[in-house]
Structure 1
Amino acid sequence: MSSDVTVVLAHGAWADGSSWSRVITGLWAAGVRAAAASLPLTTLQDDVAALDRTLERVGGPVVLAAHAYAGGVIGSTRAANVTALVYIAALAPDEGETVADVFYRTTPHPDAPTLEPDAHGLLWLPAEAFPAAFAQNASAEDRALLEAVQRPISPECITAAVGRPLWKDRPSWYLLAEDDRMIPAETQRFMAERMGATVRKHGGDHMPLVTAPSVVTDLLLEAVDTAARGL
């Protein structure tokens, strides 16, 4: 597969662009360019601005993908070159909602961590959460890497109400992680159905981009193919 469409990848909370590494190489092997946007995780506005700079730098048609928190970010861009959206176990607030509204919509999984700001007002993921809830299907080595590179998120990212989300104006896909202990499958199903997204299911954890990268890559290639045929 060779395409003029570029896939831009937005990482979630407690992560960075390296979380997409296996997906990026999978796309490369299929002849599709990818770029990982680096989000500061300081405010929702800051994150959207950082994403927009990446979209401007890439130019040309884009399939825009998000994991987890970043679903609120990709839904808030107004970049004209975005042709489709792909949500990987991601949060999708509607107009007037916050990321926290959908994240806390249902009862948390019993193994989900309790999140409290540190002395600087930032949210870190506790070490025990990586094997218990964040990436329980990952290898010990992968979990060690995820913990080592984690980046904290400011509560300001998840408490700002969003405007009209882009998923109301672009085709969207959703990968529902059925054993997600961070964002319950029930919440993911609600959001995907509300979006009218094309839904694919995977019986894995919150980090399929690490633990099931081929599943994520295949979904992205599906979106790229659809976008390319529509250009």
Structure 2
Amino acid sequence: MPRKPVSVVLVHGAWADGTSWAKIIRPLAEEGYGTVAAPLPLTSFADDVAALERTLERVPGPVVLVGHAYAGAVIAAVQSRKVASLVYVAALAPDEGETVADVFYRGRPHPEAPTLAPDGHGLIYLPPEAVSTAFAPGATAGELALLTAVQRPISLACITAPVGRPAWKQVPAWFLVAEQDRMIIADNQHFMARRMQARIHARPVDHTPMVTAPDVVLAIIQEAIREAALA
């Protein structure tokens, strides 16, 4: 069976931007895959879904759609028929009627998890020390400096909106469970991955493996690409 050309769209989560995917973009580009890091405004859940839909409009299908952390909810909310598969990277996967906050705060938090609260503008910032203690503890000093410098706050409106029927109910999904995650505990990730009947890859990585363990993330994306190309 001939292989179809596949595009990859990478979606950052809270407190991040497209630079977090740098170590994934380069090898995918070298393999000849059209790859886009979709920018999310992080202003509301509806705004983020609309922004991702706009990105998908200009990307040829089929698409492997990859979401980190908060973006797991966003990638499951788009309606584009170009999406052939979903890849969750230490991500959140609320079911219909749930909010991102519902699943983020499920279970007992890791002892190193930061205390998060909105400021006077309804924006939630990651405390600076939490970048190294919880967000990306496996990162180098240079990587931590970059992650800290580009941090973007997430609006309370992103995590309090109930989601609709998620795409993972009908689209094949992969889930990288980060066993050493201090932001979203591994037990919570396993719960969500099993509930969505994803293909689970559990690895001893932290919350931001596309920075700290890119080969692990890349291997799962490549697996999803191979299947999408033959579908």
Deviations 1:99-153 (A, max 9, x none): 0000000111111000111222210000110111000000011011001001000
- 1:26-78, Cα deviation, whole Å (9 max, x unpaired): 21122222101100000000000000000001132100000000001001011
SS of the counterpart of 1:205?
coil
Render the CA deviation track for 1:176-226: whole Å, top value 9, x for unaligned: 100000000000000000010001111010000000111111110100000
Q: Aligned partners of 2:52, 2:60: CA distance in 1, in Å?
A: 12
- Distance in 2 (CA, whole Å) between partners of 1:202 and 1:26 is 20
- Is 1:85 matched up with 2:86? yes
Report matched runs for 1:8-157 at 5 Å: 8-157=9-158
Identity of aligned residues (%): 60
Alignment-derived partner of residue 210 in structure 1: 211
Secondary structure at the counterpart of residue 41 of structure 2: coil
CA distance in 2, matches of 1:213, 1:54: 23
- Asked whether the equivalents of residues 4 and 230 of structure 2 are also in contact (C-alpha less than 8 Å), the reply is no
Residue 176 of structure 2 corresponds to 175
Provide the secondary structure at the position in 2 that maps to 1:209.
helix
SS at match of 1:21: helix
- Following TM superposition, the consecutive aligned residue runs of length 4 or more in structure 1 with deviations greater than 6 angstroms are none
Please state if 1:159 is matched with 2:160: yes
CA distance in 2, matches of 1:188, 1:54: 27
| Alignment-mate amino acid for residue 105 of structure 1 | R
In 1, Cα distance between equivalents of 2:185 and 2:138? 16
Secondary structure, aligned partner of 2:200 = strand
- 3-state SS of the aligned residue for 2:58? helix
Normalised to the residue count of structure 2, the TM-score between the two structures is 0.97
Indicate conservation of the 8 Å contact 1:3/1:32, yes or no: no
Q: Tell me the CA shift for residue 3 of structure 1.
A: 5.6
Question: Which amino acid is the alignment partner of residue 167 of structure 1?
Answer: W
* CA RMSD, Structure 1 to Structure 2 (Å): 0.9
Determine if contact 1:3/1:31 at 8 Å carries over to the other structure. Answer: no
TM-score by length of 1: 0.97
In the other structure, the counterpart of 1:200 is 201
Unpaired stretches in structure 1, ≥5 consecutive residues: none
3-state SS in 2 of match to 1:102? helix
Q: 1:162 Cα deviation (Å)?
A: 0.3
Q: Secondary structure at the match of 2:158?
A: helix
